[in-house]
Chains A and B, each alone.
Chain A
Amino acid sequence: MGAVVTQLLDRRLLDRRLDLPVTLPVNGTDNERVWLVTTADLDMLLRRVAQRDPEAFADLYDATRSRVYGMVARVLRDRGYSEETTQDVYLQVWRTAESYDPASGSALAWLLTLAHRRAVDRVRAEQAATQRDSRYGATTLERPADHVSDAVIAGEERQRVTACLDGLTDLQRECIELAYYQGMTYVQVSERLSANLATVKSRMRDGLRALRNCLGVR
């Protein structure tokens, strides 16, 4: 496995113009191996970003933008907010890449955690604000989304994740949806579902465990 990782990394380093997919196309895909390749690639890019390498920043952006933007957009449900938040996320990456510690998790998890924090802060701030529509009415923006590139996120990985999500119970999925994608606190989730706190916590925990096992995350 180590040899495969090295070989793929070498190929990347030799050809800087190569598009860097999050999931590299490995023949006879073994999920665990693909994941490790991804992790090592992004780790290296983040390290170069920490040294203010703009090309590494561009590569990192290209390798992760559809995941980051997609997650942020799922939380914020507004194209303009989502682009702004995604921009803030990557500016934060640019200035804080050196704070990433590989020992505490993968580069992708670090990035998505940072992005999710910002998205949740934004959705909570917007919910607290009173004039959402009037404030943004004058400046809604940008062309419509490009099609999601299957080259960026291999269809296979998307299917695998979807299958694992489908494997959750409805109650587990609902708790994760409300907390992670709608930015609710677990207390708010329990109020919404009229379930007690302990029940909500155990549904979240069991749902995450099931997902983790299904996806083979260690």
Chain B
Amino acid sequence: MTQSHVPDPDLLDLAVPYALHALSDAERDALESRLTAAGRTANDTFYDEVRAVRETMAVVSAANAEEPSAGLRERLLSAVADDNVRSLRPSKRLRTAWMSAAAALAIGLITVGIGVSLRPPAQAPSTADQVFAASDVHTISGAIPAGGTATVVFSRDRDAGVLVMNDVPPPAPGTVYQMWLVSDSGATSAGTMDAMAVAPSTTAVLTNLGSSNKLRFTVEPGSGSTQPTGQVIAELPLV
């Protein structure tokens, strides 16, 4: 008795705005509730229309085709290769890479406290896996003025992120790059990278993002500092 079997014309009118994502979240939720109550025929008609609109817009996408930068391809393929290799069949080459990078990082970690750990060859879902699988995954990428690119893929739900640095020139002898998670209450070290760690690319897992809203990179003397003292070479907003 609560369900109407007469297709609601208002519902079908909303199929195009729905398919084009031209509803607010509240309007979409309300519409989906009405659809759930509307019965199968009304649903089939509605979703057929949605499907046709989406197929049409997929064809229309040819009109705006534009190439992204080559860097995007590299970042994606390296994220996916790491993800795949680690979870299914860790190769010797990759394990070696982890260990040398881990060794390079270890100095920094001992000095400044653990903020970064290279992802372990884990059996259970690693932090990186969890970040990639998070429903709130975000990517922020920026050029480092001295050269190279830093990309952070992160999730607030997981309170963690994965940093990928590509083609970053090594720090001057006697210095390291140090990463800082910066919040309104100050900066916390997220680890350091020396010349060995940055070339040609490196990946690090950032944990305990907390309330930080920036990832800052500075040049620090020796094996790192407890608070940022050196020149800021880059900053990525974690929002």
Contacts and interface: CB of A to CB of B under 8 A. Distances in A.
Given A135-B239, A185-B23, A204-B20, A142 B71 contact: yes
A66 B65 CA distance: 5
B67 interface: yes
B66 A70 contact: yes
A37 interface: no
Contacts of B14: 201
Given A69-B66, A146-B70, A91 B54 contact: no
A91 B153 contact: yes
A183 to B, nearest CB: 8
B67 A147 contact: yes
Which secondary structure characterizes the binding site on chain B?
helix
Interface residues of A, number: 83
Contact of A88 (B24, B66, B138, B142): B138
Given A67-B65, A113-B54, A215 B140 contact: no
Contact of B54 (A69, A105, A145, A202): A105
Interface in A110-147: 111-113, 116-117, 120, 135-136, 138-143, 145-147
A165 B56 CA distance: 11
Contacts, number: 222
Nearest to A73: B66
A192 interface: no
A44 interface: no
A61 interface: yes
A36 to B, nearest CB: 12
B237 A135 contact: yes
Given A87-B72, A105-B51, A201-B13, A71 B61 contact: yes
B30 interface: no
A91 B72 CA distance: 12
B69 A146 contact: yes
A69 B56 contact: no
A27 interface: no
A154 to B, nearest CB: 8
Contact of A52 (B20, B56, B76, B84): B84
Interface in A132-169: 135-136, 138-143, 145-149, 152-153, 157-158, 160-162, 164-165
A7 interface: no
Interface of B: 13-17, 20-24, 27, 47, 51-73, 75-77, 79-81, 83-84, 87-88, 132-133, 137-143, 149, 151, 153, 234-237, 239
29 contacts: A57-B77, A62-B73, A65-B67, A66-B67, A70-B65, A71-B61, A83-B71, A84-B140, A86-B68, A87-B151, A91-B79, A92-B137, A109-B57, A112-B57, A112-B58, A112-B61, A113-B54, A120-B21, A135-B237, A145-B66, A145-B68, A146-B69, A152-B65, A153-B62, A158-B63, A179-B20, A180-B20, A202-B13, A215-B56
